Amino acid sequence: MSDVLALAGATVVRGDTTLLDDVDWEVEEGQRWVVLGPNGAGKTTLLQLAAARMHPTSGVVGILGEVLGAVDVFDLRPRIGLSSAVLAERIPNGEKVEDVVVTASWGVVGRWRETYEDLDHGRARDLLDALGVAHLGQRAFGTLSEGERKRVQIARALMTDPELMLLDEPTAGLDLGGREDLVGRLGEIAADLEAPAVVMVTHHVEEIPPNFTDVLLLREGHVVAQGPIELTLTEANLSETFGLDLALEQHGQRWSSRARV
């Protein structure tokens, strides 16, 4: 298996603050990772490195066989599907949902648009359907609920058929039904052998979808533990990560946690 991500001693410093400290991390093809940690742990910073949207202050970040600093990031980014709140804010409210998805492929492939436009729209509709929002294709993005927007963003991130999929808090802000539905769909993507390597950031073990393989636990820029979920997601590691005495329960391929009283 080849490395999709290979970080060695990756450190990010801003002013007096160390956002990420000496992170070693490898993600291989076929793996589905959860990055878990409290507010301010450095999760989004780690995802920004993995998305080729930030360079480390020191250390090495390898992405899809290229090394940040020695590659044109504009060649690399189209190979990475990213879904994040920051990117979503840049989508014009008036843009039609189907176009939000289709335009992910524009500028990515230097081909004659008219020939492929129908194919692109067909793919966009299929992806919206897979995320359960096919009926919203003609609506303006700005009129969607938070949960609907999240699904459209994920469809957009998949549009370019990426080799690496990065999801920053995909289920944040969803109600219970919306969360459970999206967690299920992410679990289906994770089970798909054709799907790219996936890294998903979350604050909550309840949001870990089925079929995810590995977890990286982050606290104050440090890796507390990383590895296969079944071995690494323990009460001790989770408690250390959140600085709380936590009870952890496994329910099949899902998890829940609460503070011990």
Ligand X SMILES: Nc1ncnc2c1ncn2[C@@H]1O[C@H](COP(=O)(O)OP(=O)(O)OP(=O)(O)O)[C@@H](O)[C@H]1O
89 binds ligand X (CB under 6 A): no
49 binds ligand X (CB under 6 A): no
Q: Which residues fall within 8 angstroms of residue 156, CB to CB, at 6 or more apart? A: 83, 100, 101, 104
Residue from 5, 6, 7, 19 binding ligand X (CB under 6 A): 19
CA–CA dist 220, 198 (Å, integer): 23
Q: What stretch of H or E contains 38?
A: none
Tell me the Cα Rg of the chain. Answer: 18
CA–CA dist 220, 134 (Å, integer): 40
Closest CB to ligand X among residues 43, 79 = 43
Pick the stretch among 11-19, 88-96, 109-117, 175-183 that binds ligand X (CB under 6 A): 11-19
219 binds ligand X (CB under 6 A): no
Pick the stretch among 40-48, 64-72, 124-132, 191-199 that binds ligand X (CB under 6 A): 40-48
DSSP secondary structure letter of residue 86: H
45 binds ligand X (CB under 6 A): yes
In this structure, the strands spanning 222-228 and 214-219 are antiparallel
147 binds ligand X (CB under 6 A): no
39 binds ligand X (CB under 6 A): yes
- Nearest distance from C-beta of residue 253 to ligand X, angstroms: 24
- Nearest distance from C-beta of residue 26 to ligand X, angstroms: 20
Q: Which two tokens stand for residue 129?
A: 């359907």
17 binds ligand X (CB under 6 A): yes
Closest CB to ligand X among residues 2, 17 = 17
Q: Maximum CA pair distance of the chain?
A: 63
- Nearest distance from C-beta of residue 220 to ligand X, angstroms: 8
The residue to which tokens 């939000």 are assigned:
100
177 binds ligand X (CB under 6 A): no
Q: Which two tokens stand for residue 44?
A: 């989004």
Residue from 1, 2, 15, 111 binding ligand X (CB under 6 A): 15
How many CB atoms are closer than 10 A to CB 183? 19
Of residues 183 through 212, those in contact with ligand X by CB under 6 A are: 203
CA–CA dist 113, 82 (Å, integer): 23
HSE-CB of 135 using CA atoms within 13 angstroms: 2
43 binds ligand X (CB under 6 A): yes
Instruction: With CB under 6 A as the rule, give the number of residues binding ligand X.
Output: 13
Residues making contact with ligand X (CB under 6 A): 14-15, 17, 19, 37, 39-45, 203
